[in-house]
Structure 1
């Protein structure tokens, strides 16, 4: 299969995407990175996995935008530019009438007779679409993915591509307008979503937990708002004419995120700012929980100073040790008590998004540590993530508290974020 770019060009684009500063590292650390035996294995394995498809993993038939956004750099190494562009355009063809972006799409022929939780579009007859409405990251993930596509390929023509009666550029703004109209609170000036465990897609209330309903407790959290800020930065860079409208909105959300979600005393982001009460018992101290994933995206959004990034890492390492967890891919700590979520996948504690260990986010933390100049710490913390790829001969969706592989195999999100982190490490040794 034809590659988009030469290896050197691909490397340059990935480093541009991650905005990596020139960080001098000492000779000893440089030699450690150069001689690391896990990195070449993981890189090779990631490329092999990426050649086999673009669905999230072997446990998923869907192409999810929140996943695709995290392995598009890896996809660019093995896929044709036109194929990546086409995968992105499907999301625009299946965009909702109110501007919302779907979670993912599945070939129609794979939908069973009894499956009804799907939407369809005349603009894209090949697929059925699904959306977990408790999330508020589909729109922002698509903006980020299009930004990465343009940076990787230099192909800005995607923005003028006509989908129905609107260009992709217009549809990107329409997606952001959807959030402002339907997922925004004027009281706090923040993006909202259902109560979930950090970046998760399962609410605690009765049922499967992926759709907003009458039982939902709406809230503001750091993950959704940080993703929104990153997306607006991306949008304004690739479509400069949008700055007039979105610059002030971004500045206000940035300010309000620090005002309402940052706990100055504890030096951490609170789990939730509730709009209509909490779903948890009144005597439960939710602010004792530390959200690893949302904190990482806050780093990416520029919502933490360099000193706060280091303090956040120290807190993550401390809590990983307390939990007895394998890595800083830990979703949160302490976990929500058993029974707090109706969906059994979140129980018992340290299960799935309730205290499972996800390299999918942990390796993004590694990328941010490198960006902020904490290379030695990043190298130390990435080791268990690399080692388990070798030990399990592949990538898994998440890992138990005992470091056992769980969930979908060939999980491309993990492969993608590790691949990018390794490229960043390797660049430091040149």
Structure 2
């Protein structure tokens, strides 16, 4: 009897979820079905992903923050064993404190004088690299394992043994690293270096990707939203750890709202500084809007439906103010010229300092669909798909006048666009 009650309960949950799935009206459904740009994007994305797992033609590494955004796309082309092997490499190269590298590249490709790499006896084929200013490598890996299991149905990866630990144990170990090494007891939130929203370049000097004595530690919404998503994912595929991690997740969510959400302005503040800001005292950083961090916060369930609509309206308004191409805009207004020593962040509207990235804009579109804003999602994806068609490919980012920049086969952009398109297509009533 209990068995049938459980089945009935599951059926009710399934039906409730099916009823909650957003649907479109007939006119919008027809637009989505007949959108020729969508067809081109999906076909081109399959071509691009078939070229390999490196982030794009400007990169030799397989980066975990990128792989997290195109593993669903990769699953359409590669066997699950190949998808799994890439994940296992990251775990074989896990640090002795539980940290996860950014990316790996064949060891033989490292030239003389290239010293910013790590190596592991468990994985002699590759050299690892980590931009230590970031606090999203560990959370990106957990999210990618979650997506791997969802897209392939293969949960056996959790039982794989690497060294003296299973993958399940190593995932928790990576979360421990963040709580031990990147957690502010004062605010109850994770910290990283000061960067522009989700970026990986700190302002203080040079290349700007490594924590050092010049770093100004800061708390932002992106890192903490990524952690909340990772913990949700971890608890879904490993329900036995809920008792340990649910209180952590709830504390993070509460503290994001308490310390980072500006209720009056209805936006997230850019940073909480732990030892002072790297920027001039008369600079009002609070005026800057972080597009990417807001999108990931929505994915983490940190905003109400009303706040999501307010956030979208603010993004659209600021895109117009900037004269930018799409809601892939990283930030607005950008940091003034000269605020970042790395020249790629200057002049304004360059790279992560006001460049337009489909890599995050596509994720915002996906969250709009998930939250029932289908019409708005369809409107906002248009400039992103149009430029893929125009430029016959997926570029890393775009200038303020919509000119392509960076890698010309950026797989993260392809991955998030296909995810968003498929979400839109799933809203169409089959009738």
Q: Structure 1-normalised TM-score?
A: 0.95
How far does the alpha carbon of each residue in 1:57-90 deviate from its partner, in whole angstroms, 9 at most, with x for none?
0000000000000000000000000000000000
The 3-state SS of whatever aligns with 1:408 is coil
Deviation at 1:20, TM superposition (A): 11
Aligned match of 1:345: 344
Instruction: Within 5 Å, give how 1:40-189 maps onto structure 2.
Output: 40-189=39-188
Q: TM-score, normalised by structure 2?
A: 0.95
Q: Find the counterpart in structure 2 of residue 6 from structure 1.
A: none
Aligned counterparts of 2:134 and 2:427: Cα–Cα separation in 1: 36
Q: Answer yes or no: is the 8 Å Cα contact 1:280–1:340 preserved in 2.
A: yes
Q: 1: CA distance between counterparts of 2:138 and 2:20? A: 28
Partner of 1:257: 256
Q: How big is each residue's C-alpha offset from its partner over 1:248-268, in whole Å with a ceiling of 9 and x where there is no partner?
A: 011011000000000011000
**Alpha-carbon distance between aligned partners in 1 of 2:20 and 2:228, rounded to the nearest angstrom:** 21
Whole-Å Cα distance in 1 between the matches of residues 213 and 99 of structure 2? 20
How far is the alpha carbon of 1:183 from its aligned partner? 0.4
Q: By how many angstroms is 1:389 displaced?
A: 0.3
Give distance in 2, aligned partners of 1:332 and 1:21. Answer: 32
Cα–Cα, structure 1 residues 94 and 249, in superposed 2: closer, same or farther, change >3 Å? same
Equivalent residue of 2:146, what SS? Answer: helix
User: Residue 75 of structure 2 aligns to a residue in which SS?
Assistant: helix
Instruction: Confirm or deny: 8 A CA contact 1:395 1:409 kept in the other structure.
Output: yes
Superposed displacement of residue 114, structure 1: 1.2
Give me the whole-angstrom Cα distance separating, in 2, the residues matched to 1:24 and 1:385.
22
Change (3 A) 1:197 1:19: farther
SS in structure 2 at match of 1:428: coil
Q: Distance in 2 between matches of 1:19 and 1:260?
A: 35
Q: In 2 relative to 1, CA 106–162 (structure 1 residues): closer, same or farther, beyond 3 Å?
A: same
- Match of residue 389 from structure 2: 390
Q: SS of the residue aligned with 2:354?
A: coil
Q: Which consecutive segments of 4 or more residues in structure 1 shift more than 2 A?
A: 18-21
1:363 to partner: Cα distance: 0.4
**How far is the alpha carbon of 1:22 from its aligned partner?**
1.3
Query: Relative to 1, partners in 2 of residues 1:21 and 1:144: Cα closer, same or farther, differing over 3 Å?
Result: farther
Whole-angstrom distance in 2 between the partners of 1:21 and 1:230: 21
Q: Hey, what does 1:13 align to over in structure 2?
A: none
Aligned-pair distance for 1:206? 1.3
Cα distance change, pair 86–96 in 1 and its aligned pair in 2 (3 A)? same
SS, match of residue 197 in structure 1: coil
Pairing of 1:278-297 with structure 2 (within 5 A): 278-297=277-296
How far the C-alpha of 1:21 sits from its partner, in A, is: 4.4
Q: In the alignment, is residue 315 of structure 1 matched against residue 309 of structure 2?
A: no
Gapped regions of structure 1 (runs ≥ 5): 1-17
**Aligned pair in 2 of structure 1 residues 20, 382: CA closer, same or farther (>3 Å)?**
farther
1:78 alignment partner, SS class: coil
SS at match of 2:100: coil
RMSD (CA atoms): 1.1
Measured after TM superposition, the shift of residue 207 of structure 1 is 2.0
Local SS of the residue matching 1:89: helix
For 2:4, the equivalent position in structure 1 comes to: none
2:204 counterpart residue number: 205
Query: How many Å apart are 1:19 and its aligned residue?
Result: 10
- Secondary structure of the 2:407 match is strand
C-alpha deviations, 1:93-150, integer Å up to 9, x for none?
0000000000000001111111000000000000000000000000000000000001
Q: 1:21 to 1:38 in 2, by over 3 A?
A: farther
In 2: Cα distance, 1:208 partner to 1:307 partner:
40
The aligned counterpart of 1:29 is: 28
Report the Cα distance in structure 2 between the residues aligned to 1:154 and 1:32, rounded to whole angstroms.
33
Matches of 1:94 and 1:236, distance apart in 2: 24
Query: Could you report, residue by residue, the CA deviation over 1:276-330 in whole angstroms, capped at 9, with x for unpaired residues?
Result: 0000000100010000000000000000000000000000000000000000000
Contact 1:67 1:413 in 2 (8 A): yes
* Counterpart residue number, 2:14: none
Partner-residue secondary structure (3-state), 1:409? coil
> Which segment is superposed worse, 281-290 or 21-30?
21-30
Unaligned residue ranges in structure 2 (runs of 5+): 1-16
Task: Check whether the contact 1:20–1:371 (CA below 8 A) recurs between aligned residues.
Answer: no
